[in-house]
Chain A
């Protein structure tokens, strides 16, 4: 059994029992971050803050939300928006954060792709990050069901229909998921549980894994340079703070994190108070009505690119390519055969073109996913969807030919 001495201070008392000093070093003061990074490396902290905003606002909403098909719409739009003090504020924070979190996730993802941060021992960071993306997607979708408006109902109808597997006609599976022939009480209750319990638990676990996966390989840097963290840390601790290539996570990098968070929150609260419409679709302010289909059914903006990969094809091919699009990003560390870990722009023309074209094409897919599939829009959508698939298939080929830079 460990030997305990009379504590000299509260900190000492805690240290003997929890090793708080060691913990503080491992997690904060001696968690070494390369200096050669830019503000895009703060997106992790921005995501942590946004997730915290989602959890806190979600807890307040949970106190008043009623998960029944008869009361859900009114509990949100009447009770929370009119009766509860600042209920409107929590709802707008929750709705805007749910949308903005995806913007930051996409920036975080494309930063990772651009700087090759999924290579050289960082594969698990990427994979756990993509699992987080999947979990956040499920969280966003299940949350979108809860106000039980027209978009909740019809998006729920369309997405659960995907599980019939096209020509497989697995209608029994769809009914099993819904607990009914159409989205109804069982469906709402299940998605409520998923949204407030199971998926948040999964997200928290995955965030732990994501951070854990980062601890040994350390974060990447702008040049993909391999840094001897022990040697550089020693230099720093010996007093050569300016000469060392690394810095402490806290307070050194955290001060920059907080600076970025400050700017981000100005943007975020501007959206919450003055431009929230993009995150709260007008159609969802009509109560769910199974007898009246909205003129246009579209998912929230962050799902549009994958929706557009489903849409231009016949149902079976569409579903196959949709499934492909869902999993292919996870495979990135194994599809990129290049020996280089550095900025996409410095890896030679093929990958440079691949990166910027992939980014632009996903924006085109996003736009086409929302626009009605008519005329030129369906043609553009089809070309973009085919291009997306072809580009992923081509990735191992173009990267394996890449020269070492």
Chain B
């Protein structure tokens, strides 16, 4: 009798793959909107035509630009005017420290942000100046000269004080761009910073109360408390997170989440941070996986040889 097993195997594999295709790739394709990456080009923002001068930029940032009225610049010894909780109470969210803004965020984005925050952040549906809904970050209206030159100077200054691109760490990128709204419990990160180890329980509770106060104002500012991102790398996925951060409106029109304007490189770092939080053992999985596969293939070969030996007498 002819050996029908290859045919039977083909039938089993065929029906299995059809089922898999329909319930996994196909169903997810139908259920979830596909958003393509825009390669972090921020093509909707005007190109930067002027070459900035960091020295003049420094004068503007510290002086006429009035950035330091709200933002700290720790590397330039400019402390924050208020602690995080009070700042959130004043502005809705704690304004970021600008030490590394020049490297974490895209230059084109920063230029537009300084002149028109709600526009760059894609939150004009929420902050419409015509209706008196002012964005808490006051737009820069110019210091008397060419405003485009002035913003280019300020951005040049921010770039000059920031760390080099290759020194951007995953935590730095995440904390700058995401960490003032999103907690990451599994990395011990709260919206007001990493929760330290306290010797006395009372101090820990006092810290928690600060976090809760901060979250209360954040809730009012954003409409709901932005989610803890500990497991987002698994509950969403890399492509979703990356395209969502790039332009939240593409996924969820009307969302209060602003565009953060991170560079493609910062986005990679943010993803790395989220993988460390929610897919911590991925490297171990790869190495163990390889070894298990080698072991099991050898097992299968021995099993095959054993079968051949046993069945030699049966035919």
Contact = CB atoms under 8 A, between A and B. Distances in A.
Interface of A: 35, 38-40, 77-78, 81-82, 86, 88-89, 92, 103, 107, 241-242, 247, 251-252, 255-256, 258-259, 261-263, 265-266, 269-270, 272-274, 277-278, 280, 282-287, 295-296, 301, 304, 359, 363, 366-367, 370-372
Nearest to B224: A292
Contacts, number: 133
Contacts of A258: 303, 306-307
A345 to B, nearest CB: 11
Nearest to B313: A241
B198 interface: no
A371 B31 CA distance: 7
B307 to A, nearest CB: 4
A114 to B, nearest CB: 10
A367 B303 contact: no
Contact of A39 (B8, B24, B309): B8
B9 interface: yes
Nearest to B3: A38
B306 A259 contact: yes
Interface residues of B, dominant DSSP: helix
B307 A266 contact: no
Determine which residue in A103, A256, A283 has the highest number of CB atoms from chain B within 10 A of its CB, and name it: A256
Contacts of B311: 252, 255-256
B260 to A, nearest CB: 22
Contacts of B26: 367
Interface string B273-296: 000001011001110110011001
Nearest to B285: A273
Interface residues of B, number: 52
A256 B307 contact: yes
Given A81-B281, A363-B15, 6 more contacts: A82-B281, A88-B280, A242-B314, A278-B20, A367-B22, A371-B31
A38 B2 CA distance: 12
B19 A286 contact: no
Contacts of B162: none
Given A242-B314, A242-B315, A81 B19 contact: no
A199 B234 CA distance: 29
Interface of B: 4-5, 8-9, 12, 15-16, 18-20, 22-24, 26-27, 30-31, 186, 227, 230-232, 234-237, 278, 280-281, 284-286, 288-289, 292-293, 296-297, 299-304, 306-307, 309-311, 313-315
Contacts of A265: 296, 299-300
B5 A366 contact: no
A259 B304 contact: yes
Contacts of B313: 241-242
B303 A285 contact: no
A297 B219 CA distance: 27
Contact of A107 (B12, B20, B27, B293): B12
B296 A262 contact: yes
A242 B23 CA distance: 46
29 contacts: A38-B4, A38-B5, A40-B8, A77-B230, A82-B186, A82-B281, A88-B285, A89-B288, A241-B314, A252-B310, A252-B311, A252-B314, A255-B307, A255-B310, A256-B311, A266-B293, A266-B296, A272-B292, A273-B292, A277-B24, A282-B236, A284-B235, A285-B232, A286-B231, A301-B23, A363-B15, A363-B18, A363-B19, A367-B26
Contacts of B186: 77-78, 82
